[in-house]
Amino acid sequence: MNRLTATAWVLLVALVSGGVIAQTVVPAGDPAKGSQLVQMCQGCHGIPGWRTAFPEVYKVPKISGQHPGYLVNALKAYKTGERSHPSMRAIAATLSDNDMAHLAAYYAQAPVQTAAK
């Protein structure tokens, strides 16, 4: 193997390894356990069409039916401060990685709610 080929292989392995490491591994959650944790979420996310006034007026996002990985990553971002909503940051700060996975599993399988007309 010549030097250029060896260098190409090293770079390829480094890129592939970095991509695998960079991906967030989301532990499998249990929707039944998640259903026992949703009381902190339902005050805003459980009301179709709900708007909140803190810290500003906005429509609360629907989280039912979202991909579990997205939900876990969002909760982790609130916990670390990468996302800055004060209420979400306070709630996420109390959650373990397993709690986040359970909540994500629950909401991923929950029916999507729509606002009444």
pLDDT digits (tens, 9 = 90+) for 22-71: 345 666 899 999 999 999 998 889 888 888 877 678 888 889 999 999 99
DSSP class of residue 55 equals S
- What residues are paired with 58 via a beta bridge? 52
Contact 88, 41 (CB under 8 A): no
What pTM was computed for the model?
A: 0.71
**The predicted structure's pLDDT at residue 78:** 97
Q: Mind listing the domains of the chain with CATH numbers?
A: 28-109 (1.10.760.10)
Q: Which residues of 42-70 are buried (b: 16+ CB within 10 A; e: fewer)?
A: eebbeeeeeeeeeeeeeeeebbbebebee
Range 86-105 average pLDDT:
96
